[in-house]
Amino acid sequence: MHGNLTEVFKEKAEEVSANVFIAGNNKDGINYIETILEKKKIRRIAVLDVDESYSRQLLDHGFELIDRPFRDKASEIEASVTSAFCGIAETGTLVMQSDSEDLRLATMLPDIHFSVIDARSIVERANDLTYQLKDWFRNGNYTSFITGPSRTADIERVLTLGAHGPVQLHIIIKL
Amino acid sequence: MAYSSHRSYRRSVRQALDDDFLHAVLENFTKSYPASRSEAFSGKDIQSLVNEIAEIKKRSISKLDELFSQFKRKAEELGIIVQIAQTAEEACRIIEKIAEENDVKSIIKSKSMTSEEVHLNGYLESKGFEVIESDLGEWIIQLRHEGPSHMVMPAIHLSRTQVANLFSEVTAKAQNEDISTLVKVARKELRGKFINADMGITGANFAIAETGTIGLITNEGNARFVTTLPKVHVALIGLEKLVENIDDALKIIEVLPKNATGQKISSYVTWITGRSECTVSDTAKKKYHIVFLDNGRTVLAKDRIFSEILHCIRCGACANVCPVYGHIGGHKMGHIYIGPVGLVLTYFYHGLNNARFLADNCINCLACKEVCASGIDLPSLIKEVQIRIHETEGQPFLTKAAGKLLRNRKLFHRFLKIAKAGQKPFTSKDGFMRHLPLMLYRDHSFRSLPNLVSEPLRDRWGRIKPEIEDPVLKVGLFAGCLNDFVYPEQVESAVNLLADNNIETIFPEEQSCCGLPLMMMGDTKNTRMIAMQNVKAFEGGNYDFIITLCASCASFLRESYPGIVGLNENEITRVTGFSKKIVDFRSFVRANIKLSKKEKNNKVVTYHSPCHLARGLNIKMNPEDLITSAGYDFKKADHENSCCGFGGTYTLKFPEISEAQLNKKLNAIVSTGAEILVTECPGCIMQLRGGADRAKMKLQVLHLSEILNPANK
DSSP category for residue B443:
G
Per-residue DSSP letters for A30-82?
A: HHHHHHHHHHHT--EEEE-SS-HHHHHHHHHTTPEEPPSP-GGGGGG--EEEE
Nearest-angstrom CA–CA distance, A83 and A74: 20
Buried b (16+ CB within 10 A) or exposed e, B279-305: bebeeebbbbbbbbbbbbbbebbeeee
Contact, B327 vs B661, CB < 8 A?
A: yes
Tell me the pLDDT of chain B averaged across its residues: 93
pLDDT in tens, B640-661: 999 999 998 898 889 999 999 9
In sequence order, which residues have a C-beta less than 8 Å from that of residue B461 and are 6 or more positions away?
A: B507, B509
Quote helix, strand, coil % in chain B, to nearest 5: 55, 10, 35
ipTM for the assembly: 0.97
Rg (CA), chain B: 28
Q: What angle do CA A102, A107, A109 make, to 5 degrees?
A: 85
For B80, left (φ over 0), alpha (ψ -120 to 50), or beta?
beta
How does residue B713 score in pLDDT terms, banded at 50, 70 and 90?
very low
Residue in B155, B221, B271 closest to A164 by CB: B221
pLDDT at residue B320 above 80?
A: yes
Q: Which residues of B643-661 are buried (b: 16+ CB within 10 A; e: fewer)?
A: bbbbbbbbbebbbbbbbbb
- Mean pLDDT, residues B670-688: 96
Looking at beta carbons, which residues of chain B come within 8 Å of A75?
A: 191
Residues B501-545 have pLDDT tens digits of: 999 999 999 999 999 988 887 788 889 999 999 999 999 899 999
Yes or no, beta carbons of B271 and A100 under 8 Å apart: no
Q: What percent of chain B has pLDDT over 70?
A: 95
Closest residue of A to B29, CA-based? A157
d(CA B409, CA B414): 9
Nearest CA distance, B203 vs chain A (angstrom): 16
| Contact present, B134 and B227 (Cβ < 8 Å) | no
Average pLDDT over residues B70-95: 98
- The answer to whether B660 and B327 are in contact (CB under 8 A) is yes
Q: What is the distance between the alpha carbons of residues B527 and B517, in angstroms, rounded to a whole number?
A: 9
pLDDT of residue B712: 58
Nearest by CB to A91, from B78, B212, B264: name it.
Answer: B264
CA dist list (Å): B681 to B298, B446, B547, B659 = 42, 20, 13, 18
Picking from B79, B194, B250, the nearest residue to A127 by CB comes out as B250
Q: Which of B186, B263, B277 sits opposite A99 (nearest CB)?
A: B277
**Cβ–Cβ under 8 Å, residues A82 and A49:** yes
DSSP notation for B143-174: HTT---SSSS-TTTT--HHHHHHHHHHHHTS-
Is B488 a residue whose pLDDT tops 80?
yes
Domains of chain B, each with CATH number or no CATH: 1-40+316-392 (no CATH), 64-298 (3.40.50.10420), 395-713 (no CATH)
Cβ pair A13, A20 in contact under 8 A: yes
Q: Which of A156, A157, A167 best tests the B interface by mutation, with the highest count of B CBs <10 A? A: A156
Crossing angle of helices B246-261 and A130-137, in 10° steps, is: 110
Give the model's pLDDT for residue B437. Answer: 54
- Measured between beta carbons, the chain B residues lying within 8 angstroms of A141 are 271-274
In whole angstroms, what is the distance from residue B253 CA to residue B266 CA?
Answer: 9
pLDDT tops 90 at residue B203: yes
Q: How far is CA A144 from CA A79, A86, B190, B263, B604, in A?
A: 19, 11, 22, 18, 55
What one-character DSSP code corresponds to residue B636?
P
Q: Span B302-317, mean pLDDT?
A: 97
A115-161 tens-digit pLDDT = 999 999 999 999 999 999 999 999 999 999 999 999 999 998 899 99
- Pick from B26, B49, B224, B281 the residue to mutate for testing the A interface (most A CBs within 10 Å): B224
Q: What is each CA distance from B475 to B273, B515, B613, B623, in whole angstroms?
A: 64, 21, 20, 22
Got the DSSP string for A154-172?
Answer: TTTT--EE-SSS-SEEEEE
Long-range contacts of B531-537 (CB under 8 A, 24+ apart): B531/B561, B531/B564, B531/B567, B531/B575, B532/B571, B532/B574, B532/B575, B533/B407, B533/B409, B534/B478, B534/B578, B535/B561, B535/B571, B535/B574, B535/B575, B535/B578, B536/B510, B537/B508, B537/B509, B537/B510, B537/B511, B537/B512
Residue of A nearest to B266 (CA): A147
- Residues of chain B in contact with residue A130, where contact means CB-CB under 8 angstroms, are 246-247, 250
**Residue B278, amino acid:** C
C-alpha closest to that of B554 among B596, B603, B587: B587
3-state secondary structure of A6: helix
Answer whether residue B425 shows pLDDT above 80: no
| Phi, psi at B263, each rounded to 5° | -100, 145
Is pLDDT at B409 greater than 80 in this prediction?
no
Distance from CA of B271 to the nearest CA of A (A): 5
Q: Which of A88, A85, A77 is nearest to A42 (CA)?
A: A77
pLDDT tens track for B229-273: 999 999 999 999 999 999 999 999 999 999 999 999 999 999 999
Whole-structure pTM value:
0.93
